[in-house]
Amino acid sequence: MLSTFTSYNLITRDLLTSLTRTQQDSINAREETYYKENIGKVTSVDEFLDDYRLFNYAMKAYGLEDMTYAAAFMRKVLESDLSDDSSFANSLTDSRYRDFAAAFNFQEETPVAQTEAQLDDVIGLYTAGVESAGSAIQEETRYYNIVIDKVDNVTDIFQNDRLKAYVFQAFGIDEDTYSYQNIRDVMTSDIDDTDSYVNQTYVPYIEELEQKIADATTQLSDTSLTTEERSAIRADITTWNGFIDTAEGYLELASAFNFNEDGTVPDGETAQTADMKAATNEAYTLANPRVTSAAALLNKAYFEEAIQSITTVDDFVADSRLVDYVRTAYELTEVSIVNATIENILTSDPDDPTSYIYTVGNGDERFIALASAFNFNEDGTLDDGVTAQVGTQTVATSNLYMVHYNDADDEADETLISGYKADVAELESVDDFIDSDSVVELALKAFGLDPDSVSTYTLKQVLLSDLNDPKSYVYQLKDERFVELAKAFNFDEEGAITVPLMAQSETQILAVSQLYVLEKSRFGTDEEQETAEEEASYYSEEIQKIETLDEFLSNERLVNFVLEANRIDPETVTPEFLQEVFASDLDDPESVANTQENRAWRWIVSSFNFDAEGNVADVEDGTIQLRQGVYKTIDYYIRQAMEETAGEDNAGVRLALYFERKAPTITSAYDILADDALYEVFKVTYGVSDEVGNADVDAQAEMIERYLDLEELQDPEFVSKMIVKFAVLYDTENNVDTSAAVTVLSGGTAGVSADLLLSLAQLRAGGS
C-alpha cells in the first residue's frame, strides 16, 4: 500500500484530473446527469424533498448525507430567508446548512417596479437635467444664432426641427396644434403695414376681446348677479385674456423676422437683425418653465430698468413681471397674496402700527421689508423728486431676488421627487405607472422626454417592450431615450411588476456580499468588519447598475470584491484572463472556466447573468436553483465522492483531503472540536491522545489554540506542511485498517454524525 502522503500527493498534484476521473465514474456520471436534467423541473420544496435521488445528491454534496432522513428539519433550512440574520439556517452553528440553503432559490425574489439603483438613477438623471437646464438653453441659443443667419426662406425654419422648436418655444406656439399656413403668414407679415396679414387678422381680434372684457367687467358691478353668474363671467374674462396673450404673441412673432411676403429674405439682409435675435433669445430663455440663472439675470435687468419709470403703485401692479419679481424676492409666494395684497403693502407705512401691514398682515416681517423697499405714499403716488426706489433699495431687492429666484422650482422638485418615491413604491402595473402624474412627469423628464408630447399608448407600449427582442416596439421608435426609460422599470409582458433583471440576482448579490464580509472579518478587527460591510453595501448598490460584462470588468473595485469573496487574490489575475473566463461556455468541459483547478472560477461566471454578447439577460436555467447553485452542487458532490473513494484504500488520505478543503473556513478552536474529522487530523498532527477528549470542552479549545495559530490555516503553504506532518505521523502511529480515522469516516461522509448535528442544532436553537 502506498503511504498516506504519496496517495494524497498523487491526487492533489493534478487535482483537476483527479476530479475529472471521479466525475467520469459511471455511477457519479449517471447521478450527475439525473440531477442536471431534473433539478430544473422542481418548483417547490415538497417536490425537492420527495425526489429522494435529487435530495440525496444535494445533501451528499454539502456533506449532509447523514441528515437526509430529517426532511422537516431540512425544509426549515431551505425555507430560511438568508437576508435575515435570525432565520433558521443562519441561526445554526454549522455553516453547511446556510451554504445548502444558499444553493437554492426557494425564497422568491421580490418583484418591484424599480430597484433602489434604478430609482436613484432616474432621480439622478432628473436632477442632472435640472442642473443643466441653463447649459441646454445656452447651447440651443448658440445653435440658433448661428443657423438663423443662414436662413434664406421662412420654409428653412419649418424644415429644421431644432430651429422650429426654438422659435415655437420662444413665442408660445404649440407644435401639436399649430397651423403651418397661419404661422407662415404671421412670420411673413410686415408689422408696420396695417394691411398685412397679422394686423388685419389679430389686431381687430384683440380689440374685440378687450371690448368683451370691458363689458364683462362692467357687468360684474351688477349686484343682482348670482354667485354662479359672477363665476362664469370671471371664467370668460380669464379665457379671453388667454386668447389676447396668444394673439399678442403672434404680433411679437411678426415683429421678430424680416421675411418678405413671399417668404424670402430681403437682399443684403438676414432673417433677423441683431436686436430681433436678442429679443428672440430672451423670449426663449424666459419661456422655459424653470427659472434658470440666465432667466433670473434677464428678470433682474428688466426690473432695474423698468422700476426707474414707475410713478404710481397702479403702474407697478399693472406690470405682472415686476409683481412676480418682488413676490419672489420677498418670499411672498402664497396663492392668497394677489396684486391687491402687494398694492396694500406698498402703500403702507412700516412705521405706522395702524397701517395694513400691521392690522391685516399682523406685522409680517416680509410685508415690512417690502414696504420699506419702496417709497410710495398711502395714495399710491410718489412725492415730487422721489423715485419708486433709490439705488440702495433696488440693489437690496435684486440681491434678495437672486437668492430666492429658484426657491419655487427647488420646492417643486422636492415635492415631485418625494411624490415619485412614494408612488413608485406602490406601483403594481404599467397602468399604475400611467395613472401616476408624479411618476410620468419625473421619469419622462429624466430621460429628456416631454410628458405632454408622449401619448399614453406610446408610453405603455414602451414599458411593455421586450428589451431582448430587437423587433419589439421600443426599438421601432429609433429613440434611445425610450430604450433607457424601458430599462429603468421592471414590467413583464402582461404589464405587471416583475423581478428586476440585473447582472446578478438578489440571491447572488446577497451570497457574494456575505462571502466577502466573512472572508474579510474571519480574523479581522471590528473596524475591518465594518469596512467590509461598507464595501458590501457599495457592491450591492453598484452591481445593480451594471448592464454589460465590459462595464463590470472595467470596474476594478467590483471585480476585486468578487475575487476576494471567492478567496482569489486580484493581484494574480490579469484582465485578459478575466475576459477569457467570462467568455467561457459553461456547458463546454474544455472551456477556460471549466479547465481551472480552482472551481471558484466557474462559480463566479455562473453567478452572473451575462449572455454570449456580454449583455445582461435572463440566462438562468432552473427554477429553484440558480446556475451557480447547480455547478456548486455538482462540484461539491464530485469532491465528496473523490474523498470517499480515496478513503476506501486509506482513510488517512481522505482525512488529509478533507482537512485541506475545510482549513480555510476554520475560525475558532470550536470549529475543530465540532468536527470529528478535523479533530482527528489535529490530534494526530500534534500527538494529542484520545483521552484528552474527556476533558472540558473549553479546556480542549485552549489546548488547540496553544498548539495551533488558527489564522495560519488561511495560508495554503502552512496547511500543506501540516498535512505532510499528519501523513507521516498517521502512517507511523496508526494501523490504517483499524485506525480511529476509519471509525470517523465509516458513516460514508467526512463530517459530523447525525446525532451530533442534531445536538448542535438544538443547542443553537436554545441560545447556547
SS (H, E, C) 390-443: CHHHHHHHHHHHHHHCCHHHHHHHHHHHHHHHHHHHHCCEHHHHHHCHHHHHHH
Please give the pLDDT value at position 743: 41
Instruction: Give pLDDT, residue 619.
Output: 64
Which residues, including other chains, have CB under 8 Å from residue 308's CB and lie 6 or more apart? 387, 388
Torsion of CA 640, 645, 650, 655, to 10 degrees: 0
For residue 754, the model assigns a pLDDT of 42
CATH tag, 4-108+630-765: 1.10.3700.10
Task: Please tell me the distance from the alpha carbon of residue 633 to that of residue 298, in angstroms, as a whole number.
Answer: 69
Q: With bands split at pLDDT 50, 70 and 90, how would you rate the model's confidence at 741?
A: very low
Number of residues written out for the chain? 768
Q: What pLDDT shows up at residue 461?
A: 96
Cα(158)–Cα(144) distance, integer angstroms: 13
Beta bridge partner(s), residue 615: 548
For residue 110, the model assigns a pLDDT of: 81
C-alpha cell at 464: 411593455
Residue 618 has pLDDT above 80, yes or no: no
Coil, helix or strand for 507? Answer: helix
pLDDT at residue 734 in the model: 61
Least confident piece of the model among 326-335, 559-568, 615-624, 731-740: 731-740
Q: Domain residues of the chain, as ranges?
A: 4-108+630-765, 134-287, 293-405, 409-487, 506-617
pLDDT at position 757 over 50: no
Tell me what pLDDT residue 691 has: 84
Residue 405 or residue 734, greater confidence: 405
Confidence category of residue 767, pLDDT binned at 50, 70, 90: very low
How far apart are the C-alpha atoms of 81 and 85, rounded to whole Å?
8
Residue 453: pLDDT over 90: no
- Report the alpha-carbon distance of residue 577 to residue 564 in Å, rounded: 16
Q: What are phi and psi of 554, to 5 degrees?
A: -85, -10
Grid cell, residue 471, equals 423587433
Spatial CA neighbour of 394 closest among 375, 366, 368, 367: 375
116-131 and 133-147 helices, crossing angle to 10°: 50
Confidence of residue 735 (pLDDT cuts 50, 70, 90): low
pLDDT digits (tens, 9 = 90+) for 637-696: 999 999 999 999 899 999 999 999 999 999 899 999 989 999 999 999 999 888 887 888
**Residue holding cell 493534478?**
14
Q: What is the pLDDT at residue 748? A: 37
Q: Is the pLDDT of residue 758 over 60?
A: no
Weakest mean pLDDT among 111-115, 262-266, 620-624: 620-624
Smallest CA-to-CA distance from 378 within 334, 335, 343 is with 343
Number of neighbouring beta carbons within 10 Å of residue 211: 11
Rounded to 5°, the CA angle 39-45-50 comes to 75
Q: What is 293-405's CATH number?
A: 1.10.3700.10
Per CATH, 4-108+630-765 and 293-405 having the same topology is answered: yes
Q: Taking CA 536 as the corner, what is the angle to CA 533 and CA 541, rounded to the nearest 5 degrees?
A: 130
What number of helices (H) and strands (E) belong to the chain?
43, 0
What percent of the chain lies above the pLDDT cut of 90?
A: 78
Q: Is the dihedral of CA 83, 86, 87, 91 positive or negative?
A: positive
- 548 forms beta bridges with 615
User: Which ranges of 696-765 does DSSP label H, i.e. alpha helix?
Assistant: 697-707, 716-733, 740-745, 754-765
In the structure, what pLDDT confidence band is assigned to residue 335 with cuts at 50, 70 and 90? confident
Residue 763 confidence (pLDDT): 37
User: Is the per-residue pLDDT at 237 higher than 80?
Assistant: yes
- Residues 117-132 have pLDDT tens digits of 899 999 999 999 888 8
Predicted pLDDT at 289:
85
Closest CA to 521 of 539, 508, 533: 533
Whether residue 60 contacts residue 637, with contact meaning beta carbons closer than 8 Å, is answered with yes
